[in-house]
Amino acid sequence: MFMREISKLLSIIFLIACFVLFLNSLSEADDKKPQQAKAPEWELFEKGNGFFMSGKYQEAIGAYTKAIDLNPKVALFYNNRGYAYRHLENFKKAIEDYNKAIVLDPAYAGAYNNRGIAYGKLGNHTQEIADYNKAIELDPDDAVVYYDRGIAHGKIGRYQQELADYNKALQLDPKLTAVYYKRAATHCRLGNFYQAIADFDKAVEVNPKDADAYYNRGVAYGRTGNYDKELDDIKRAARLGHAGARQLLRKQGLDW
């Protein structure tokens, strides 16, 4: 009796094992099925992205253009080609592509932001800020757009608006460390030297080899009357290769 029960149990185990092997064989067969081919225009688009990431911007434009020829209705293709044109400093062509992307997708916040940057490079800060405003309207949680708009405000002397945008950018993304340096520089322009020093502290914490941050923090310390720390930072900037710091110390007959 006992042996008969053992025999039944072994038979059941064997059947289960066979069933598992059968399922595995189906899974392996599925894995060996050829992947569904991507549409040719998307293959060209990805090829363009590869060129772009390698710094081959003209080749990227060529690949994006071929993708557009095959499918002229994809906003992303125009946006990325515009980005490549922008890196070649062909800002007018970039704007043309961003315009097309926006026509195809009026809710494309990234295209507005990119077009704003291109307008800024051409010195059209009014249109630049208008595009950032639209990008923020469409995507109010994108910290980078506030950062970009802050820079634009600073270019035309709107320092309070600049600070407000930097504050918002950091509120949304505290890891956007480039903001600390820019905000510190704005605080210096406004005479807020203690706030500037606090932001320069953050900047050098993130990048201990940032010679500009040390130099400017030294200047800010000098404005607060802390000349020892001013000298320490100027020397540190000089050791990191800051030309202005070295020139200043040479005039004073000091080493670094």
pLDDT at 37: 58
Residue 102 and residue 141 in one domain: yes
pLDDT at 38: 78
My answer on whether 213 and 151 are in the same domain is: no
Residues 207 and 149 in one domain: no
pLDDT tens figures, 85-134: 999 999 999 999 999 999 999 999 999 999 999 999 999 999 999 999 99
Give the burial string for 69-90 (b: 16+ CB within 10 Å, else e): ebeeebbbbbbbbbbbbbeeeb
Q: Which residues contact 221 (CB under 8 A, 6 or more apart)?
A: 193, 197, 227, 229, 230, 233
Question: Would you state the pLDDT for residue 26?
Answer: 37
Q: From CA 104, how far away is CA 115, in angstroms rounded? A: 15
Closest CA to 244 of 206, 212, 207: 212
Q: By three-state DSSP, how is residue 89 classified?
A: coil
Domain with 141, as residue range(s), is: 42-167
Task: Extract the residue ranges of the chain whose pLDDT is less than 50.
Answer: 1-36
My answer on whether 152 and 109 are in the same domain is yes
Task: Tell me the C-alpha distance between 148 and 113, whole Å.
Answer: 8
pLDDT at 175: 87
Q: How confident is the model at residue 6, as a pLDDT? A: 35
Residue 25: predicted pLDDT: 40
- If asked whether residues 116 and 202 sit together in one domain, one would say no
In a domain, 6, yes or no: no
What domain count does the chain have? 2
CATH number, domain containing residue 211: 1.25.40.10
Same domain, 59 and 134: yes
Q: Do 134 and 196 belong to one domain?
A: no
pLDDT for 177: 86
87 within some domain: yes
Domain boundary among 126, 142, 167: 167
